[in-house]
Amino acid sequence: MQFTFFHLMPYRPLDMAERHKHPTSWVMLPNKLYDPKKGADEYQSYIDQLVYAEKLGFDVIAVNEHHQTAYGIMPAPNLIAATLIARTTKAKIAIIGRALPLVNNPLNIAEEFAMLDNLSRGRLITGFVRGIGAEYHSTGINPSFSHERYQEAHDLIVQAWTKPGPTSFEGEHFNVRYVNIWPRPYQTPHPQIWIPSMGSSETVKWAAAPERKYPFLVTFSGRELVARYLNVYRDQAKQYGYEASPDQVGWASPVYVADTDERARKEAREGIESLFNDFLAIPFQMLLPPGYMSLPSMKNTMRMRKALGAQRRLTMEELMENGTVVVGSPKTVRDQLAKLRDETRAGKLVTMLQFGTLSDELTKRNMETFASEVMPHLR
């Protein structure tokens, strides 16, 4: 199994009483609540954690992109990646991902990734996402065209990486007369592209296509959904006439491990519950703006919501119960992860070992225990 240490970089010093005077940590939470001195400390801690993950033996260290939110203070993840490249030597550096539809010139993404690939001498892994619904409010990009823009931006970036330039690109949303990037990527044909997704059958189908075979990661989902989507990927690969390798499938999950189940639960609770309730919670109209999901998927989601009733605070126990988070002793954590790995034959695990308000001290202990007591057993 390949192990990734993934960071969202939440703004932990958030005043939660102030935060809850607003509906969400996204889009309109007043940025007065961000204190630059505390924020600078956060960056330092988080970068140190990512660098330490290499020492502990993680194969990949990973970051991602979010805008105008306390949930993650990384609107420009490539800047963090550049720092990580300078401070590490062998770990792969993953940016999973950049939100393609949110930019007006995807060539910038192709260029920056190519630079990072050169700077790291081929240690770069990229990820392509559409951004979260709230980011269509914070950038102004029309969600009606989210899928189209994603496809076109993807095609343009891959073309820039693989076709000897100059070429030209003619799309509905993006038109570039001269596609001819300097530098070209270090890796041939190009850095790996991972597709992190909450799961949608259209995305699975697209990622599994033989001309792409992009590794697919299910994020923030219970174990049943993880298994379902990874199996859809495998079935889809079979329909395309090939067997998906373990490298092509994986999932991402917050994990907390301590010497006993009881201690792990006690130490993880605040961080887990703040991640889901204080940082991630988003009102429906921000989470799913019109067009972000296809109309049929949206209709299903609306019916499910109607059946579920009003949203309320999630507890760590509920999240553990359905497997969205994994918390416990080394044995508990090993068993749960191994079970899902065996069920799905997944070869990639993306761990979030810092989550929500979890402190530096507990994060360090969690990372060390995971690296010594869990990782070797699952390799």
Residues that bind another protein (CB under 8 A): 27-28, 136-137, 140-144, 283-286, 289-291, 295, 298-299, 302-303, 306
**Closest to another protein by CB, 282 or 327:** 282
Compute CA distances 11 → 96, 130, 324, 326, whole Å: 19, 22, 22, 22
Tell the smallest beta-carbon distance from residue 140 to another protein (Å): 5
Nearer Cβ to another protein, position 33 or 298?
A: 298
Give me the least distance between CB of 19 and another protein, in Å please. Answer: 18
| Rounded Cα–Cα distance for residues 320 and 264 (Å) | 12
CB neighbour burial string for 209-226, b if at least 16 within 10 angstroms, e if fewer: eeeebbbbbbbbbbbebb
Task: Quote the least distance from Cβ 154 to another protein, whole Å.
Answer: 21
Q: Closest approach of Cβ 298 to another protein, in Å?
A: 6
In the bound state with another protein, the residue whose beta carbon lies nearer, of 209 and 302, is 302
Q: How far is the CB of 170 from another protein (least distance, A)?
A: 17
Residue 239 or 300: the one with the smaller Cβ distance to another protein is: 300
By the 8 A CB rule, do 83 and 51 touch? no
Nearer Cβ to another protein (17/295)? 295
Nearest CB to another protein, comparing residues 28 and 33: 28
Q: Supply the minimum distance, in Å, between the C-beta of residue 205 and another protein.
A: 21
> What are 16-19's contacts with CB under 8 Å, separation 24+?
16/274, 16/278, 19/70, 19/278
